């Protein structure tokens, strides 16, 4: 038998750490998994060291993974590269580490899907993105794990001069989800866009943590998340963007919008800017509310049923994230996606 707490040389976060004050990680510390498995990927084995991280949860995989993998994209992708992760084994600690590299001036698209059909399993995932000069990566992540499972995805992003990543995250499942993003914008005119849709039901818990460092001039970051929370679900949005000396003329945006669809649903939203220069454009904000009652009445007055009016307004709220996806092939994948095809 193996407990995650038995891992050595890792300082696990606690509620004393500012970023994790609202996140319950007790399921990861105390649960006794029957075994540990490397989630095998059909990619090249990574020979060089992956990007380093200060995130202690990132070090789980560094200690446990027998292999790390690399997806090296050296030509434009006509169709998105699709990676499917399906967990089937109960009470197993699964890990995977993948470094995605996009060569200079390449236009690439990647779709990654996480689904489960098991009980009491934990999937620890490390992802690093290295996007070279003037390259563009459209990356779409779809998470739909079953209740009683846990998924932590640690993401490190490295963008070279004039490189862009369009990162979209759809969270539509149950269980416990933690997404941690660490980005250092060390190159000129590097562009980071992260859009997220978090739709939660039942007792689902989801946390999104962002640490973004602007270290060079004319860098751009935009973090935009929408949450629609039902039942007893709970979400955390923690975004910290630091603009250091030398990052003049940068643009920094943070936004979190939440619709609470139950009196018992909860959101903790904390956008945060730390700015050390004068020449920049920056904004942040967080809104929490319910569906607009006047709009509901307007639709009802025109013969639209309560259920249909509710669905129309909720779709309008969520569709902004869908509309922000630049790759039409990724939009097509989302439209045609059926969970039953994978589980």
Q: What is the DSSP string of 70-130?
A: EEEE-S--SS-EEEEEEE--TTEEEEEEEEEEE-TT-EEEEEEEEEE-SSS-EEEEEEEEE
Q: Strand, helix or coil at 59?
A: helix
> Could you give the CA distance from residue 296 to residue 305 in angstroms, rounded to a whole number?
10
pLDDT digits (tens, 9 = 90+) for 291-326: 888 888 888 888 898 889 888 998 999 999 999 999
> Could you give the CA distance from residue 216 to residue 247 in angstroms, rounded to a whole number?
4
Residue 293's pLDDT is 85
CB atoms within 10 A of CB 26: 9
CB 180 within 8 A of CB 152: yes
CA geometry: angle 270, 30, 147, nearest 5 deg: 65
| 149: nearest Cα among 60, 58, 258, 33 | 33
> Could you give the CA distance from residue 147 to residue 337 in angstroms, rounded to a whole number?
20
CB atoms within 10 A of CB 151: 25
Residue 341's pLDDT is 67
Residue 34's pLDDT is 74
CB 170 within 8 A of CB 140: yes
| 94: nearest Cα among 73, 74, 65, 69 | 65
Residue 42's pLDDT is 63
Q: Encoding tokens for residue 119? A: 């009980």
| 122: nearest Cα among 154, 91, 97, 153 | 91
CA geometry: angle 202, 207, 208, nearest 5 deg: 140
pTM for this structure?
A: 0.89
Burial of 129 by CB count in 10 Å (0-12 exposed, 13-18 middle, 19+ buried)?
Answer: buried
> Could you give the CA distance from residue 188 to residue 164 in angstroms, rounded to a whole number?
11
pLDDT digits (tens, 9 = 90+) for 172-230: 878 889 999 999 999 999 999 999 999 999 999 999 999 999 999 999 999 999 999 99
Residue 17's pLDDT is 72
| Residues lower than pLDDT 50 in the chain | 1, 48
Residue 163's pLDDT is 98
């Amino acid at each position: 038998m193996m407990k995650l707490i038995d891992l050595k040389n890792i300082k696990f976060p606690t509620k004393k750490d500012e970023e994790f004050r609202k996140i319950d990680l007790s399921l990861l510390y105390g649960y006794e998994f029957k075994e540990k498995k490397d989630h095998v990927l059909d990619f090249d084995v990574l020979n060089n060291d992956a990007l380093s991280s200060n995130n202690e949860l990132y070090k789980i995989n560094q200690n446990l993974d027998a292999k790390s993998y690399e997806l090296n994209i050296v030509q434009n992708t006509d169709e998105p590269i699709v990676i499917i992760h399906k967990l089937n084994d109960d009470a197993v600690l699964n890990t995977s580490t993948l470094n995605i590299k996009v060569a200079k001036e390449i236009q690439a698209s990647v779709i990654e899907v996480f689904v489960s059909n098991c009980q009491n399993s934990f999937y620890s995932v490390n992802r690093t993105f290295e996007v070279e000069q003037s390259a563009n990566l459209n990356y779409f992540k779809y998470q739909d794990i079953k209740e009683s499972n846990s998924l932590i995805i640690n993401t490190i992003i490295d963008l070279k001069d004039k490189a862009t990543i369009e990162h979209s995250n759809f969270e539509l499942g149950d269980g416990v989800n933690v997404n941690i993003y660490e980005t250092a914008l060390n190159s000129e005119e590097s562009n980071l866009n992260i859009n997220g849709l978090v739709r939660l039901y039942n007792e689902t818990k989801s946390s999104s943590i962002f640490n973004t460092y602007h270290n060079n001039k004319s860098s751009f970051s935009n973090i935009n998340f929408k949450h629609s929370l039902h039942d007893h679900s709970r979400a955390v949005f923690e975004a910290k963007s630091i603009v250091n000396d030398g990052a003049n003329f940068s643009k920094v945006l943070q936004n979190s919008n939440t619709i609470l669809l139950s009196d018992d649903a909860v959101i903790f939203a904390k956008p945060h800017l730390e700015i050390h220069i004068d020449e920049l454009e920056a904004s942040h904000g967080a809104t929490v509310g319910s569906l607009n009652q006047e709009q509901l009445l307007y639709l009802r007055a025109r013969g639209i049923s309560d259920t249909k009016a509710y669905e129309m307004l909720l779709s309008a709220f969520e569709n902004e994230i869908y509309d922000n996806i630049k790759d039409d092939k990724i939009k097509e994948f989302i439209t045609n996606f059926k969970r039953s095809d994978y589980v």
